[in-house]
Structure 1
Amino acid sequence: MGFARGHQLNKTPMLEIKRVLVVDGIDDVCVKVLADAGFQVDKKDKITKDEVLATIKDYDALIVRSATKVTKEIIAAGTRLKIIGRAGTGVDNIDTDAATHAGIIVMNTPGGNTLSAAEHTCAMISALARQIPQAHATMKQGKWDRKNFMGVELHGKTIAILGLGRIGREVATRMQAYGMKTIGYDPILPKEAAKAINIDAYDLDELWPLADFITVHTPLTESTRHLLNDAVLAKCKKGVRIVNCARGGIIEEAALLRALESGHVAGAALDVFDEEPPKDIANNKLIQHPNCIVTPHLGASTEEAQAKVALEIGQQIVEATHGSQIMGAVNAPAMMHALRDDLKPWVILGSKLGLLAAQLMVGSAFEKGSSKWLHRLTVTAQGKAIQSSSSTLCAAVLMGILNHLQATPVNLVNASMIADALGLHVREERTSEPHDEYQNVLSLRYTTETEDHEYAGTVFGTNNLRFTRIDQFAFEVRPAGHLMFYRNEDKPGVIAAIGTHLAQASINIADLTLGRDDSKREALCIVNTDQPIPADVLQRIQQTSFITYARTVTL
């Protein structure tokens, strides 16, 4: 995303956070970042559940790694909590549903361990291909056994990467250097974007029979739990090799064991498990299978990764409190609850501006390659009250646009990521200088090869939302209900003629607002109706001689 600074930030806090509890042996750089920003920080490397329950009521934020389980009980006891930060990627140890219900933001640091996790995955792939751990073990036993450890080359093999996020893409880059053909699946990333990084994207059912190696890089959700099961493994090539350095549970362990025992799967490399640590490791058939390589969840266990995630979670807490955005949040509904009360109506306004723009666009904004392709968007937060929250408001605008124009659900957390995946160039601008007519104004401008339009709005008082401009037309209209926007020659009789069309269709006008461009003798009228305007009625209005443009929206 583009970013224009230009003016000093207003340091009005987005969230009121003063005291932070840091546990689980998180690197001291996290404490330093927070302390330097003026927070009171208590660091307790080893802490019991009872100790957390007894003290959490005194803290506004809690930062954990994986050892501390943030349960519903702990969340209920944290009456001051506004943020739970996870120094790492997975939030399996945090009851995210309970936190969301309580309005507490759960945030992680998905970028900090990217390289370490990718490198560990690649090491596991190489070890799997050449049976390095098994050969190492026999030599430690005093044996020189070459014939039992015939490996395979990676060059020329096809590796399927499930999940083309940061880690998946880093794995692809490294395995391409080995000469592997990279194919993949991602529900968000368009096939064109995958192709740009030399990954051929397939639907899952197409992908299974093509892969010599499969590596998993998705989160664990209800849709990905047991993604690889008996039925899926049966569709894979005989002799496929499978790697999971993402999350336990994505691969059904019992099904994988059956496939290893039958020889259909030639080998597996696992860094993660359904239960961690697994029970009775010495007698666990999957772990002890001779063709299964295992490590005890070491993907992010490097000095560099732990320092990065500690630094990032500290910076994210500071940014959420003193800065312009909330980064790394995984539970979007809690973000709205946790935002300052005065910012919430602006977020709603932003989403409505985006939804307005999406509905007024001509044609499909995501027909890539056509003149209708939405390729540039600029969002501007102008005024002292909102300029420090520009990133959040930009996400709100994207949420309004993208939820209307494509199928993937978009929220304040993933809006920027999905915009990037769709190839939409987003520029975020902010200034503390007041608008000519209003103290604070949020605006967006979008560009296609055939269109260039600007929309703006403001909030009066505490919760009085208004659209204030479309292109050169100034007005004030409440952004709610069924609205018709039409442009016309500015001459007498137009409103009466439109009213007649609506009356003949038994459509009642609830409100009407007019904007004028005297230099062009053109007007823009916004009509609020009690019910939607049917397509045939809109078509008759569009065909009226003095109407140059007519569209309907629902907000």
Structure 2
Amino acid sequence: MGRKVLATPRSFGTGSQGAADLLARRGFDLRLNPYGRILTKAEMIREIRDAEAVIVGVDPLDQEVLSQAERLKLISKYGVGTDNIDAAYAAQRGIRITTTVGANTEAVADYAFTLMLAAARRVIPIDRACRGGDWTKTLTVDVHGSTLGLIGLGHIGKAVARRAKGFDMKIMAYDHLRDEDFAVRHGITYVDTLQTLIEQADFVSLHLPLNEHTRHLIGPREFETMKETAVLINTARGGLIDETAMLEALKAGRIWGAGLDVFEREPPDLEDLHTLDNLVIGSHCAASTRHAVENMGMMAVRNVIQHLCGEEG
């Protein structure tokens, strides 16, 4: 039996056997997620116990889990967000953490723009009405020529900005780390405060990590000062938004709509999510395209081979 590598993402290897074959050729024993969903802590402890590496999505890897993984040497993140990993404890144990930066950038940017269009133009309720025989015209809001506010201008934020230029959108960005050259080349205006962006943007799209400084970054005060025609988009992490405040704003019509692919708890247990026509929801699937899944799988596996075998994959 080879050295065990646990892969928990449900999409791992679904488009191609290339990543799995690469591990097999290096003598690794690949174990896939047997549950067909995000693992619980108890399940994760059981599955990771004898693994040397784990290729992980959003499954829990806190100190309690990692303390039971005595052979673990590498956490190969299938994506870029590491808020589900206790990085400090991993470092204390000498466990390396790698990510697949860039592997799913274009797929997530596509989905962010899809949510933007769907929420602005009420695509889902219009489709539902038409299927029921109701062909009433629905008045919606424009995307073309409107103002897009990007909170976070990293790889994915930049990819969304490039798409927005095709819609002649005015783009503003809020980010502590500024890429002035990119901003100048793409006509993006940096703002000094989050509140400025919130007040002026027609569309607010989140592209930043979840940590102690960004949790509930968008809360009651932000919803009170957004435009009534504003649309909020989140393909980053659910905890960035105070979901209770968001639902209140959507129900009261204080903002036009929202498109969310991520939630604080997945699946979410908020009943109003299923009844609001001004909300479009996804199952954390922005990166789930054939190309992105293959990219993430191959990059995650190459990280395993590089760090456990000392060679390129």
TM-score by length of 2: 0.87
Which whole-Å CA distance do the structure 1 matches of 2:111 and 2:305 have between them? 31
**2:90 maps to amino acid:** A
Which whole-Å CA distance do the structure 1 matches of 2:250 and 2:293 have between them? 34
Give 1:430-441 correspondences, 5 Å limit. none
Are 2:285 and 1:298 aligned? yes
Are 2:5 and 1:21 aligned? yes
Which whole-Å CA distance do the structure 2 matches of 1:228 and 1:54 have between them? 36
Query: Which of 28, 33, 52 pairs up with 1:45?
Result: 33
The answer to whether the 8 Å contact 2:250/2:256 transfers is yes
Query: Which of 303, 306, 312 pairs up with 2:299?
Result: 312
Partner of 1:61: 53
**2:24 maps to amino acid:** A
The alignment partner of 2:115 has SS state of helix
CA deviations on 1:375-419 (whole Å, 9 max, x unpaired) are xxxxxxxxxxxxxxxxxxxxxxxxxxxxxxxxxxxxxxxxxxxxx
Partner of 1:205: 195
**1:137 maps to amino acid:** R
Give 1:315-394 correspondences, 5 Å limit. 315-322=302-309
CA deviations on 1:277-329 (whole Å, 9 max, x unpaired) are 012x5xx224422211112222112122111100001112223345589xxxx
Partner of 1:272: 262
TM-score by length of 1: 0.51
Unaligned stretches of 5+ residues in structure 2: none
Which whole-Å CA distance do the structure 2 matches of 1:170 and 1:55 have between them? 36
1:60 Cα deviation from its structure 2 partner: 2.0
**1:62 maps to amino acid:** V
CA RMSD between the two structures: 2.3
Q: Which has the higher contact order (CA 8 A, sep 6+)?
A: 2
Compared with structure 1, are the counterparts of its residues 55 and 176 closer, same or farther at alpha carbon in structure 2 (3 Å cutoff)? Answer: closer
Compared with structure 1, are the counterparts of its residues 305 and 192 closer, same or farther at alpha carbon in structure 2 (3 Å cutoff)? Answer: closer
1:91 Cα deviation from its structure 2 partner: 2.9
**2:149 maps to amino acid:** A
**1:293 maps to amino acid:** V
**1:270 maps to amino acid:** L
CA deviations on 1:307-361 (whole Å, 9 max, x unpaired) are 1100001112223345589xxxxxxxxxxxxxxxxxxxxxxxxxxxxxxxxxxxx
Partner of 2:168: 179
**1:127 maps to amino acid:** A
The alignment partner of 1:301 has SS state of coil
How many aligned residue pairs are there?
301
Which whole-Å CA distance do the structure 1 matches of 2:298 and 2:54 have between them? 15
**1:230 maps to amino acid:** P
1:43 Cα deviation from its structure 2 partner: 2.3
The alignment partner of 2:240 has SS state of coil
CA deviations on 1:398-448 (whole Å, 9 max, x unpaired) are xxxxxxxxxxxxxxxxxxxxxxxxxxxxxxxxxxxxxxxxxxxxxxxxxxx
Partner of 1:102: 93
Partner of 1:133: 124
The answer to whether the 8 Å contact 2:83/2:211 transfers is no
The answer to whether the 8 Å contact 1:82/1:104 transfers is yes
The answer to whether the 8 Å contact 2:147/2:170 transfers is yes
Which whole-Å CA distance do the structure 1 matches of 2:239 and 2:280 have between them? 17
Which whole-Å CA distance do the structure 2 matches of 1:129 and 1:50 have between them? 41
Which whole-Å CA distance do the structure 2 matches of 1:170 and 1:88 have between them? 16
The alignment partner of 1:183 has SS state of strand
Compared with structure 1, are the counterparts of its residues 52 and 233 closer, same or farther at alpha carbon in structure 2 (3 Å cutoff)? Answer: closer
**1:86 maps to amino acid:** K
Which whole-Å CA distance do the structure 2 matches of 1:50 and 1:213 have between them? 40
Which whole-Å CA distance do the structure 2 matches of 1:98 and 1:81 have between them? 12
The alignment partner of 1:277 has SS state of coil
Query: Which of 24, 34, 49 pairs up with 1:35?
Result: 24
Larger-gyration structure (1/2): 1
Which whole-Å CA distance do the structure 2 matches of 1:55 and 1:215 have between them? 36
Which whole-Å CA distance do the structure 2 matches of 1:178 and 1:40 have between them? 47
Compared with structure 1, are the counterparts of its residues 236 and 53 closer, same or farther at alpha carbon in structure 2 (3 Å cutoff)? Answer: closer
Which whole-Å CA distance do the structure 2 matches of 1:41 and 1:62 have between them? 12
Compared with structure 1, are the counterparts of its residues 156 and 51 closer, same or farther at alpha carbon in structure 2 (3 Å cutoff)? Answer: closer
Which whole-Å CA distance do the structure 1 matches of 2:88 and 2:18 have between them? 29
Identity of aligned residues (%): 32
Are 2:103 and 1:112 aligned? yes
Which whole-Å CA distance do the structure 2 matches of 1:262 and 1:44 have between them? 44
The alignment partner of 2:67 has SS state of helix
Compared with structure 1, are the counterparts of its residues 39 and 177 closer, same or farther at alpha carbon in structure 2 (3 Å cutoff)? Answer: same
The alignment partner of 1:137 has SS state of helix
Partner of 1:221: 211
Partner of 1:406: none
The answer to whether the 8 Å contact 1:20/1:39 transfers is no
**1:274 maps to amino acid:** E
Partner of 2:236: 246
The answer to whether the 8 Å contact 2:77/2:99 transfers is yes
Which whole-Å CA distance do the structure 2 matches of 1:169 and 1:50 have between them? 38
**1:218 maps to amino acid:** L
**2:303 maps to amino acid:** Q
The structure in which a higher percent of residues are strand is 1
Which whole-Å CA distance do the structure 1 matches of 2:256 and 2:45 have between them? 47
Which whole-Å CA distance do the structure 1 matches of 2:5 and 2:309 have between them? 18
Which whole-Å CA distance do the structure 2 matches of 1:286 and 1:59 have between them? 38
Which whole-Å CA distance do the structure 2 matches of 1:245 and 1:55 have between them? 28
1:177 Cα deviation from its structure 2 partner: 0.4
The answer to whether the 8 Å contact 2:5/2:29 transfers is yes
